[in-house]
Amino acid sequence: MEGLKATLDKYEIDIRHEPIGRMGTDKSFIGMKTIFTYMPTEEEDHVEFAHLVDTDKAQDMGSYQTYYRRYNLLCYFNLIPEKALDDDGERVQQRQSKTTVRKLT
């Protein structure tokens, strides 16, 4: 992802992110819509990702949105993340579920 900005600048592609979602209902969800604009013609394309949530904590919402921005870019450009860049999701999962392993006898 390091070289992505330079490539986008070279081909005059602008990116913007818009949060999407609905909170406070049985079907609360949060996500991110990423819009790509080819500046010479203003032609647009987009990708979005969202999921149901059961929290309204600001820290969790911010983490989700940061992850979705990165996820949308990776998906749109068909990139494979480096392990160091893709650990946010794992850290969130580890915080939410602490597994105890027990030896069966």
Instruction: Give the count of beta carbons closer than 10 Å to the beta carbon of residue 105.
Output: 3
| DSSP line for 39-56 | TTTTEEEEEEEEEE-S--
Give me the number of domains the chain comprises: 1
* Residue reference for tokens 């105890």: 100
Number of helices followed by number of strands (H, E) in the chain:
3, 3
**For 77-88, what is the mean pLDDT?**
70
In the predicted structure, residue 33 carries a pLDDT above the cut 70 = yes
Distance separating alpha carbons of residues 45 and 39, to the nearest angstrom: 12
Domain presence at residue 53: yes
Domain presence at residue 101: no
Task: Give the model confidence (pLDDT) of 46-64 as tens digits.
Answer: 999 998 888 778 888 888 8
Domain presence at residue 103: no
Distance separating alpha carbons of residues 47 and 91, to the nearest angstrom: 24
In the predicted structure, residue 25 carries a pLDDT above the cut 70 = yes
Instruction: Supply the range of the domain harboring residue 74.
Output: 4-96
